Structure 1
Amino acid sequence: MNIVEVLDQKQRVKFLDIARIIYKNDPNFACPLDGEIGGIFDPKENSFFKHGEAIRWILTDGSGKVIGRIAAFINTNKAFSFDQPTGGCGFFECIKDREAAFLLFDTAKEWLKERGMEAMDGPINFGENDNHWGLLVDGFLPQGYGMPYNKAYYQEFFESYGFQVFFEQYSYHVDRSKPFPERFAKIAEWISKKPGFEFEHFKFSNSEKYIQDIIEVYNEAWKFHDNFTPIDIEDIRKIAREGKGILEEDFIWFAYHEGKPIAFFVAMPDINQVLRKMNGKLDFWNKLKFMYLLKRKTITRTRITIMGVVPKYQRFGIESAIFWKMDKAIKAKKQYTEVELSWVGDFNPKMISIYESVGGVKMKTHYTYRYLFDRNVPFKRTAIIPLENRGTKASKE
């Protein structure tokens, strides 16, 4: 076997194509767009290169056939905030061959060790953890956009190599045909009418204002969490630009108290239901197909990707009010029959309780693993978020 760094266009194509080979004829797999994956490794597109570095490799057999891939990265804003300096590996794909898998893991580990790392998380993303983060271990169903899908045998590869579960990630599904829980509806109505509180949804015509509101809430809600790093405003602007024509304005909600933003929820149509038909390619004809399928209202599921409530307002029923308003907006669009609430970590029992209270049923479980290079160092799982530090959140560490 031969492992080589991805440096030229031919190797970049092979890095992408191995996923198409491994998941060929798998009806649950929606191939991410080539441009999206390529952008993660492009310093011009991925802001994480401002405070980190990334590399990727492909693995070939004796005949030159690609049989696996892996990437490694260091986010210097977080790497040195753990007990052991920690990098990451991700975008792992491999045929069912333990020797091949271990060679890929070894390659990522050695690259990280050379740069002062003492541990490796995986499979993770060189970016925010709402996309391409974690290994699917339960719920081998069609995944929502950004949620990883993988072969079941990958779990044995990670665990036999020595990775241990750092935290578990749960995705819940809500059947929109069922009524909104009455108790939450009453709380929502009460807070919606309370003087000083206002709720409104996103509008593209005033997108910069809402982007600034997201930044303000995000920084306030997450600043007490371990390993907090401010969000890059350009990343939010990019999502807004690229999402025009796809995002539903009334699936993104904000709460205000006396004019100050105190919460936001973001739900996105699950475009995987369209991308599944494109095999990762967005050429001219697939762009036409994409627009046609959008107009045909092919998408029936939406995914709540991130939410945040400023800690001092978390006991006011803000979550109930936004869920209630979002529920009404979703039900008004008849094609949407399901909402995915993803993902929430096992370290955040408050958010798990909210998901279950609004009718969510746990459908999928992903693991984020950690591998300590010194095998004699005691392993610690991620800590439960203390109650006083819980700015309600999902899809964030």
Structure 2
Amino acid sequence: MAHSHLVISPVSGKTDLRAFVDFAWDVYRDDPNWVPPLKDEVYGIILPEKNPWFEHGEAQYFLARRDGKVVGRISAHFDRLALAMPAEQGMGPGTGNFGFFEALDEEAGLALIEAAENWLRGKGMTRVLGPISLSIWEEPGLLTQGHDHKPTVMMGHHRPEYEGWVKAAGYTPVKELRTYELDITQQFPPLIQRIVQSGEKSDRIRIRRVDKRKFDAEAAIILSILNDAWGDNWGFVPITDAEVAHFGKQLKPIVFEDLIRIAELDGEPVAFMMTLPDLNEAIAPLGGSLWPFGWAKLLWWLRKPQVRTMRVPLMGVVKRLQASRMASQLAFMMIEYIRRDAVTKFGATRGEIGWVLDDNQGMNAIADAIESRVNKIYTVYEKPL
């Protein structure tokens, strides 16, 4: 397919693959708020031999070249587990995705989206939901608010122009994913403190740290709560055991017992909260590579990270408690305990909670109650094919 002197071609071979990964550096070289990812991590997502997502997903990558120079990239992909979900939950039959979308100009961007759509159509898809790279559990949504500050660990950063280009390609917003920020050096409002103190007096409630020595068992408990808590959420796709093992291996270096809590009610695990120190603060100066000295700097930092920001990527309460006062009490208790440790043991001053679905009333209410504010919005778009 050619648009004037623009050529769109499928990624083929190692040279193309390297160009696909490296292109982000061309796009964001002059953007002070972009954090260069570790290239090994990017390859770990896009290569089938490294990412267990490919056990139930299929992807094709494309490059746009103008006069031989790479000016854009995109992935087209679908997930068989997502296709099996009910349509009213956001995914469902016939729904494919595009992701890893980057372009230097609108002509290249629109041509890439068209190429992704044609590939998806050829695979029998009838609808596109995106951008999602590659899994809903990795980087969902296009950054549409909050371009003026750096993303935290495992969050995307995109050019402001992309929003207009995606809309020009015929896409309409279907869901907003919000990120909230708050000053964690300040105590929470008196009402929240009273709710926490009331929970501390209850012999039914136990809030405990995870035990990293029992990493696999603790991960299984968290996954069980997560699948129950999030099972009806928009965009939910089940995580496989292989993906849990993969994510666990990736996250283990930045898992700290003080920052992950499991809540037990009458001895049963019913809620969890996972907090991660902002690894981006450590990798931002490395330029995407651990060589020659980056790995030593990172290992030193990981021994006892001192960070400005903590991110809460995941928390959940089992479904049967979700509409109850107990759910918010457990959430406030976990947030407060982790807040104290984040400040005293890691030197953190800022918290970020996200992503939170725009229609998740419970989480949005909790975020409001602890006086946090929306600092970034990622938008997911859809288009019928």
Tell me the TM-score normalised to structure 2 length: 0.91
Counterpart for residue 65 of structure 1:
69
SS in 2 for 1:54: strand
1:201 CA drift (Å): 1.0
Counterpart for residue 391 of structure 1:
none
Counterpart for residue 44 of structure 1:
49
Structure with the bigger percentage of helix: 2
The CA deviation string for residues 19-41 of structure 1, in whole angstroms up to 9 with x for no partner, is 10111121100012212221222
In structure 2, what residue type is equivalent to 1:111?
Answer: W
The CA deviation string for residues 199-240 of structure 1, in whole angstroms up to 9 with x for no partner, is 111121111221121122123223344564432233333333
Mapped partners of 2:216, 2:64: distance in 1: 44
Counterpart for residue 346 of structure 1:
358
**Contact 2:209-2:260 at 8 Å conserved across structures:** yes
- Aligned counterpart for 2:140 among listed residues 133, 136, 149: 133
Counterpart for residue 78 of structure 1:
82
Counterpart for residue 103 of structure 1:
111
Instruction: List alignment gaps of at least 5 residues for structure 1.
Output: 374-397
Tell me the TM-score normalised to structure 1 length: 0.88
Matched ranges for 1:237-248 at <5 A: 237-248=245-256
Mapped partners of 1:260, 1:186: distance in 2: 24
- Aligned counterpart for 2:272 among listed residues 264, 273, 284: 264
SS in 2 for 1:148: coil
1:211 aligns with 2:228: no
**Contact 1:90-1:122 at 8 Å conserved across structures:** yes
Mapped partners of 1:178, 1:124: distance in 2: 35
In structure 1, what residue type is equivalent to 2:199?
Answer: I
Mapped partners of 2:350, 2:38: distance in 1: 24
In structure 2, what residue type is equivalent to 1:137?
Answer: T
1:334 CA drift (Å): 4.9
In structure 2, what residue type is equivalent to 1:92?
Answer: F
1:335 aligns with 2:347: yes
Matched ranges for 1:115-130 at <5 A: 115-129=123-137
1:90 aligns with 2:99: yes
Aligned residues: 370
The CA deviation string for residues 30-77 of structure 1, in whole angstroms up to 9 with x for no partner, is 012212221222223222212120111111112x11100000110111
CA separation of 1:143 and 1:324: change in aligned 2, threshold 3 A: same
Matched ranges for 1:306-317 at <5 A: 306-314=314-322, 315=324, 316=326, 317=329
Counterpart for residue 22 of structure 2:
17
Mapped partners of 1:197, 1:365: distance in 2: 34
CA separation of 1:225 and 1:93: change in aligned 2, threshold 3 A: closer
Of 118-127 and 74-83, more deviation after overlay is shown by: 74-83
- Aligned counterpart for 2:332 among listed residues 305, 308, 320: 320
Of 186-195 and 239-248, more deviation after overlay is shown by: 239-248
Of 261-270 and 293-302, more deviation after overlay is shown by: 293-302
Mapped partners of 2:234, 2:360: distance in 1: 13
Instruction: List alignment gaps of at least 5 residues for structure 2.
Output: 1-5
**Contact 1:124-1:133 at 8 Å conserved across structures:** yes
In structure 1, what residue type is equivalent to 2:333?
Answer: A
1:124 CA drift (Å): 0.6
Matched ranges for 1:146-225 at <5 A: 146-225=154-233
Counterpart for residue 120 of structure 2:
112
Mapped partners of 2:274, 2:120: distance in 1: 34
Mapped partners of 1:225, 1:334: distance in 2: 32
SS in 2 for 1:30: coil
Mapped partners of 2:234, 2:251: distance in 1: 30
Counterpart for residue 58 of structure 2:
53
Counterpart for residue 36 of structure 2:
31
